[in-house]
């Protein structure tokens, strides 16, 4: 290569390298030479005084010596560089790198590429030029700011790359870039959190755990610190996400192609990407296409939200009171325990990163007739308590909330107005306008041969303008192309166009924008089609064909005709529904026929009350999962039918339906929603029963009333309200059922009451109740009922320490539940048996039982039982030995996380109690005390005496051991521990395993105390109540000297 074409290449990033053409230069081989060369090329645009360079490189050396050193170093640099005069210019005062000589500098290349990078590939190419820190072996003061500046540029650029890769859902590439960023700065916790998030987005649960472990190890090795709370919380939030992110949504498949709205979709995507936009409301009149636009925009966001995107259809939600339940349904979230469902749902959302799509919100804004507030306030609570949740709402009016972003939409694009119904529109490319495209699609569905012709083009163009591109109006109009020409459709609609924006008083407000379209469709229906259409409005949330036949007398041909006219829609799962505006219009038409309306309501209620009765057997086993899948879409119809039956006093229908109704709600976990309905039903039945004079009918009503009282008592048990009203209701129900000799209903009520007594710690009373219930179920040869009683009887018996008998009882109960295939109670009972087997010391068998239980409950989505199983598996790992304590802690924490999401205090207390035992064993004394204290408070609030007593045992354990000492303070603490243990041993609600552990601990404690001190403390402990002891502890007990 000719000398003049050879380029000097200087590499200062990472390992220092110098090449001239293709030849490596090894002569600049000391840090001092490299530092001088680096300074000259980085400050090449200005000449440098020799005085400044001497001071810069030798700040602590006498001036004369520093100048001598500089002369020597410059000489060595000239000797090391090929053709040095081409690159250096120097005189007696200054030195400068020559700008006119071509050379390559990696620092300059990196900064220039970074400044010019606009696309992702260009940005990636730029950061690949950064091969490491600027002269990493040099520690001269002058270089440190330059090094840090370049490090920051590289970090910021790499962060941009990561964000862009994440937005493009290229999670593997984003993960690799984040790992590179960590190699650049291994102590930056925020990067570890980002890496965990990316692994979670990629569905790699093991990757989340590896990233956290790397963070933990690095921080301990380098800084001897633990990860920050933010990092630990991020790990706990992400560690249990294992569903692929593309599956974390419930957005429906759209059967009809989406048309147009490209600009709107782009704007919505920008708004959703804006971190300050957390409540976005798509506003427009009915029929404008808000729902489909919202779903389309949400679908484009799949993969962007860690915990998914969930659509909540609200059209069938009767009032704001049911908003919490509707949102829970969309999230597949179940309520448990006594806490307010809203609080439970907010707790669930608190750590989630989600996009919630709330469709048709407008009717939930107003306060209810009872003065209860509308639903808008709940949205504010979500935004306040769940900072990573975004809301995308559709509404016919603004929500008028703080922080709301409005997105108003109009009709689809229409051809420009020239001369309606003339040939001037014909030459235009009508298909480029989305309103025309939508009309053509709908018309071809109605008549596959429909085409734009010279005769139809002008009419279609004008029609699209006539309805201002309103999608629903276009689809309804297109449904008539088989019967009318396009010009005739235009003339028909033109006569009533003013009603599309009418403000006349007689028109219901919600119909003002679409009344003309609906009136037009109504006038063209036959009398029989009108009758069926208005009667179908009684359904909420859709209906199946057999329901339509029995309630509205709708034949298949009539349903098909209404589908053809776009008045009802056929869904993929053999269901039909009405657009909500159409349903409301039809309901208004039905209200004009009062006798017909009442008859239809009667038939609707009768059908679904009978449906509940028919579903009772499948719900009890055999087809339980299938029955739940079939029934879930009918929840709104079931609710409406039940309320009508109660309002009309239909005692027989309530009696037939109540068992299926209660099982359905029990598996669903809708306890709070059931509470008010249950009370209304009980009140109505009591009124009828008290006023009934006919003896036979009074007895029939009394049986239904008594069983409903027992059902209400069981509901309070499920809510965690263990004492008081639950017990009172069950006692009243059982007394009445005994008087009326209603043995079948009495058996179920006794099972409910026996279960309550086990939770309360009244084990002997529970045994008596359950044995009586078992005998009645045996008379009826009811295997499911026998299995339920045997399982709970096993729990009561085991709590008294009779483990062998308890084992046999539970095995018998489980065998019966397997025969009838009641998966709900089978999963729960396997968990109960696992608890007994743990007490028997058979840990391997317990683990096998609990794993089967966990598999069943996960398949059913029974989070209440999942929390139970995880907690018991934690106990197995704790008792297995020190090697599995860490796993035990993780299982208890996972159980606790589920219980917290459910807002369930009873099992939260259980999990915290066991977590405290593990933490104490691991040497985490302060954390253990906090867990025990929280468990104790929750147990007392839930009136769960057995749990409170077991927790007292945990609190006493640290005070017993010799290392506490023999000081006066230590002796006082040990005396208090002795009082607590005495209370645990003497209290009738203590489980046998709790008493065994308390006795062993008490013997150890008394060996460290004088006999007179022990005797006095025992005496005091036997006279104290559990409530008094807990109050003393909560008031400020000190646990260590």
Instruction: Pick out the chain residues at pLDDT < 70.
Output: 1-5, 240-246, 285, 366-374, 418-428, 494-517, 520, 566, 581, 723, 903, 961-971, 1013, 1016-1017, 1020-1023, 1036-1041
Q: Is pTM, for the whole model, over 0.75? A: no
Instruction: Tell which residue, 942, 922, 918, has the closest CA to residue 931.
Output: 918
Show the CA angle centred on residue 392, arms to residues 386 and 395, nearest 5°. Answer: 125
Count the neighbouring beta carbons within 10 Å of the beta carbon of residue 509. Answer: 8
pLDDT at 912: 93
CATH architecture of 1-168: Orthogonal Bundle (1.10)
Rounded Cα distance between 764 and 744, Å, is 23
**Burial track 285-315 (b if 16+ CB lie within 10 A, e otherwise):** bbbbbbbbbbbbbbbebbbbbbbbbbbbbbb
Rounded Cα distance between 206 and 238, Å, is 11
CA atoms within 13 A on the CB side of 737: 25
Furthest C-alpha separation in the chain = 126
What's the order of all strands across the beta sheet hosting 354-359? 309-313, 354-359, 389-395, 279-283, 404-408
DSSP string, 915-958: HHHHHHHTT-HHHHHHHHHHHHHHHHHTT-HHHHHHHHHHHHHH
246-408: CATH number? 3.40.50.300
Rounded Cα distance between 994 and 974, Å, is 19
Instruction: Tell which residue, 389, 394, 408, has the closest CA to residue 277.
Output: 389
Domain ranges of the chain: 1-168, 246-408, 423-520, 525-592, 886-1034
Burial class (CB in 10 A: 0-12, 13-18, 19+), 967: exposed
pLDDT at 846: 93
Tokens standing for residue 337: 């325990």
The single-letter DSSP state of residue 279 is: E
Contact 562, 533 (CB under 8 A): yes
pLDDT at 623: 84
Cross-strand partners of 57: none
pLDDT at 1036: 64
Mapped onto helix, strand or coil, the DSSP state of residue 661 is: helix
Does domain 525-592 match CATH 1.10.10? Answer: yes
pLDDT at 240: 66
Tens of pLDDT, residue by residue over 507-531, are 334 333 456 557 767 777 889 999 9
The matching CATH number, chosen from 1.10.1330, 1.25.40, 3.30.300, 1.10.3470, for 886-1034 is: 1.25.40
Q: What is the CA radius of gyration of the chain?
A: 38
Task: Say which residues have a Cβ less than 8 Å from residue 188's Cβ, sequence separation at least 6.
Answer: 181, 182
Judge if 1-168 and 246-408 fold alike in CATH terms: no
């Amino acid at each position: 290569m000719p000398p003049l074409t050879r380029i000097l290449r200087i590499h200062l990033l990472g390992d220092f390298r110098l090449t001239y053409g293709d030849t490596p230069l090894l002569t600049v081989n000391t840090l001092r030479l490299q530092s001088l060369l680096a300074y000259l090329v980085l400050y090449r645009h200005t000449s440098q005084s020799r005085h400044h360079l001497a001071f810069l490189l030798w700040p602590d050396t006498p001036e004369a010596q520093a100048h001598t050193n500089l002369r020597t170093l410059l000489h060595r640099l000239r000797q090391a560089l090929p053709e040095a005069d081409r690159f250096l210019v120097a005189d007696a005062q200054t030195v400068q790198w020559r700008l006119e000589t071509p050379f390559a500098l990696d620092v300059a290349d990196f900064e220039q590429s970074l400044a010019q990078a606009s696309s992702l590939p260009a940005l990636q190419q730029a950061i690949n030029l950064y091969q490491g820190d600027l002269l990493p072996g040099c520690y001269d003061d002058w270089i440190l700011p330059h090094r840090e500046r370049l490090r920051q540029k590289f970090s910021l650029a790499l962060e941009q790359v990561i964000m862009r890769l994440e937005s493009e859902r290229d999670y593997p590439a984003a993960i690799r870039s984040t790992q590179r960023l960590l190699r650049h700065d291994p102590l930056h916790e925020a990067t570890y959190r980002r890496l965990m998030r990316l692994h979670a987005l990629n569905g790699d649960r093991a990757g989340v755990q590896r990233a956290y472990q790397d963070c933990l190890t690095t921080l301990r090795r380098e800084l001897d610190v633990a990860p920050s709370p933010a990092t630990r919380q991020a790990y706990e939030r992400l560690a249990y996400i294992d569903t692929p992110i593309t599956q974390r949504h419930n957005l429906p498949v759209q059967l009809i192609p989406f048309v147009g709205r490209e600009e709107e979709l782009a704007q919505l995507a920008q708004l959703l990407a804006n971190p300050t936009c957390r409540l976005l409301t798509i506003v427009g009149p009915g029929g404008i296409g808000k729902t489909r636009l919202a779903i389309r925009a949400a679908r484009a966001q799949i993969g962007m939200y860690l915990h998914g995107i969930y659509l909540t259809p609200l059209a069938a939600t009767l009032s704001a009171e049911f908003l919490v339940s509707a949102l829970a349904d969309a999230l597949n979230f179940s309520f448990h325990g006594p806490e307010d469902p809203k609080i439970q749902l907010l707790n669930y959302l608190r750590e989630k990163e989600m996009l919630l799509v709330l469709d048709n919100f407008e009717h939930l804004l107003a306060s209810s007739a009872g003065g209860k507030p509308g639903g808008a306030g709940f949205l504010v609570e979500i935004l306040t308590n769940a900072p990573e949740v975004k809301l995308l709402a559709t509404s016919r009016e603004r929500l008028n909330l703080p922080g709301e972003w409005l997105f108003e939409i109009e009709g689809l694009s229409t051809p420009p107005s020239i001369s309606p119904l003339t040939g001037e529109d014909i030459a235009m490319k009508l298909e480029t306008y989305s309103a025309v495209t939508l009309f053509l699609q709908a018309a071809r569905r109605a008549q596959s041969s429909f085409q734009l012709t010279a005769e139809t083009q002008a009419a279609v163009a004008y029609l699209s303008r006539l309805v201002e591109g309103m999608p629903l109006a276009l689809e309804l109009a297109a449904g008539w192309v088989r019967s009318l020409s396009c010009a005739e459709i235009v003339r028909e609609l033109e006569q009533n166009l003013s009603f599309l924006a009418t403000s006349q008083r007689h028109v219901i407000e919600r119909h003002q924008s679409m009344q003309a379209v609906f009136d037009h469709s109504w006038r063209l229906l036959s009398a029989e089609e009108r009758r069926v259409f208005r009667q179908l409005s009684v359904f909420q949330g859709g209906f199946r064909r057999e329901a339509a036949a029995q309630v509205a007398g709708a034949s298949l041909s009539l349903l098909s005709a209404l589908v053809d006219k776009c008045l009802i829609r056929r869904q993929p799962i053999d269901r039909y529904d009405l657009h909500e505006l159409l349903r409301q219009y039809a309901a208004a038409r039905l209200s004009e026929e009062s006798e017909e309306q009442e008859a239809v309501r009667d038939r609707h209620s009768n059908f679904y009350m009978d449906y509940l009765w028919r579903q009772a057997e499948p719900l009890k086993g055999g087809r339980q999962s299938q029955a739940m899948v079939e029934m879930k879409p009918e929840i709104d119809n079931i609710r409406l039918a039940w309320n009508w039956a109660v309002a009309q006093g239909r005692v027989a229908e309530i009696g037939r339906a109540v068992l299926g109704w209660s099982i359905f709600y029990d598996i669903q976990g809708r306890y709070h929603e059931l509470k008010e309905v249950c009370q209304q039903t009980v009140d109505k039945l009591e009124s009828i029963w008290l006023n009934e004079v006919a003896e036979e009918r009074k007895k029939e009503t009394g049986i239904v009333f008594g069983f409903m009282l027992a059902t209400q008592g069981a509901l309070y048990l499920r809510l965690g309200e263990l004492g008081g009203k639950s017990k009172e209701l069950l006692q009243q129900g059982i007394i009445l059922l005994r008087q009326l000799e209603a043995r079948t209903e009495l058996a179920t009520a006794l099972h409910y009451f026996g279960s309550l007594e086990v939770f309360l710690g009244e084990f002997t009373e529970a045994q008596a109740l359950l044995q009586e219930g078992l005998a009645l179920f045996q008379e009826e040869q009811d295997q499911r009922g026998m299995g339920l009683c045997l399982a709970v009887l096993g729990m009561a018996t085991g709590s008294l320490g009779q483990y062998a008998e308890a084992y046999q009882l539970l095995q018998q109960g489980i065998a019966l539940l397997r025969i009838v295939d009641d998966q709900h109670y089978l999963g729960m009972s396997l968990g109960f048996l696992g608890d007994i087997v743990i007490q028997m010391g058979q840990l391997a068998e317990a683990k096998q039982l609990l794993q089967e239980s966990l598999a069943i409950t996960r398949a059913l989505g029974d989070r209440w039982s999942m929390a139970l199983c995880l907690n018991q598996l934690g106990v197995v790992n704790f008792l297995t030995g020190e090697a599995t304590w860490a796993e035990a802690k993780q299982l208890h924490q996972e159980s606790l996380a589920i219980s917290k999401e459910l807002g369930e205090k009873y099992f939260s207390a259980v999990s915290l109690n066991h977590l405290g035992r593990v933490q104490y064993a691991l040497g985490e004394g302060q954390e253990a005390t906090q867990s025990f204290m929280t468990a104790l408070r929750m147990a007392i609030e839930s009136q769960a005496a057995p749990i409170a007593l077991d927790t007292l045992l945990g609190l006493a354990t640290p005070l017993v051991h010799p290392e506490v000492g023999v000081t006066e303070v230590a002796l006082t603490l040990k005396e208090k521990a002795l009082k607590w243990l005495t209370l645990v041993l003497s209290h009738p609600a203590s489980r046998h395993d709790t008493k065994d552990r308390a006795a062993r601990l008490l013997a150890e404690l008394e060996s460290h105390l004088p006999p007179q001190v022990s005797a006095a403390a025992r005496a005091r402990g036997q006279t104290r109540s559990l409530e008094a002891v807990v109050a003393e502890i909560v008031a400020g007990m000190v646990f260590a000297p």
